[in-house]
Amino acid sequence: MTNGKLKGFITRAFSHTGPRRGKNFSISSDAFQIAKMMLGMQEPKLLVGNLKSVRVVIDVRDMVNAYYLLMINEQSTGKVFNVSGDIPYEMQHYTDLLITASKVLSVKQVRNETFWRPHDIHYQHGDCNTLIDMTNWSPVYDLETTMQDLLDYWVKKLS
């Protein structure tokens, strides 16, 4: 948007996670609980929400890089940009990546009603071609690295 005095743009941030992400977000909540399991602070029972919904999730560090590239690009003024990854997965996939990274055996996943949204979006995937065309942005962090870094963050924070 432009008012003739301020240069600006709008971003729509789609699902993202990574180190320092608060435990009130789904994937980080899983990482927090699994880190507690790794440290012997919690039995291997993971309270989960809806793991059937589909999301494209990127690393928060990739999200911040997209913002940076837009801020230094003069052509971004007045435009709207989606910041999203490429490949959608069921939420179960992200939980499985965390469990695999943790090496905690026999994690029992238990549905927690308080984690369920009454009106969940079943499929979410943003088209970020405008962002890519303008900045050549692309995510750098693969999901395995993101999940490992998130898990390591919670283990360190809880230790």
pLDDT digit string, tens, across residues 7-51: 789 999 999 999 999 999 999 999 999 999 999 999 999 999 999
The predicted-structure confidence for 51-66, as pLDDT tens digits, reads as follows 999 999 999 999 999 9
Domain that includes residue 109, residue range? 10-158
Q: State how many domains the chain has.
A: 1
Residue 61 lies in a domain: yes
Instruction: State the CATH number of the domain containing residue 48.
Output: 3.40.50.720
- Tokens standing for residue 125: 């995937």
- Tokens standing for residue 87: 């490949």
Residue 99 lies in a domain: yes
Bridge partner list, 46: 109
Coil, helix or strand at residue 135:
helix
For the chain, give the percent of residues with pLDDT over 70.
97
Q: How many CB atoms lie within 10 A of CB 86?
A: 12
| pTM over cut 0.85 | yes
Residue 5 lies in a domain: no
Distance CA 85, CA 128 (A): 8
Residue 102 lies in a domain: yes
Q: Beta strand pairing status for 89-90 and 16-17? A: unpaired
